[in-house]
Structure 1
């Protein structure tokens, strides 16, 4: 799918230019991850990870797949990348960005939405 929205194109290119964001996206593509999982697997500091995850959520590069509650009542979110692949080409002053959505995320979101409506 070719990205038409300039703000989404810019967000994708910004993320791809940032090593830490790329690491987060790589970890969160195959399956959902908590912030602590992402920090442990990427080696990114807590403050940096939280800041970049927040930005990627705002830009729709990450998605909150699930919110879980621990036995002691604490909540934590599991995040997943909304994109599976990204391809960019710059030619004659024009930037073309092509993406493939992470279908599992979109399917699960739709399933959860429809199951909420049925209940």
Structure 2
């Protein structure tokens, strides 16, 4: 595709992603599940920085750490930082370089869609 993205339904994965194409829908489903289960809010700090507010239970933390580590290994331009922002709350900061703002836009859209109204 000319826009630098793979043609996976609803995908925001750029061609630079080294995750095999066949595995991308599964990864998207994992992010969607995390977003549905955990996202309680989001702030677009800047064009290159998205902050997601998550519920803070241990299972969500483990899932988020595992998923973001795996995503970083195939899409090295992502910078994920997960921190505890309260006893029952986590913050997931996602940063990308300027060349990948469109990917962050897609991720933010998926988070908003999957999380839905609370």
Q: TM-score range by the shorter chain?
A: 0.3 to 0.5
State TM-score, norm by structure 1.
Answer: 0.37
Question: Which protein has greater RCO, CA pairs closer than 8 Å, 6+ apart?
Answer: 2
TM-score by length of 2: 0.37
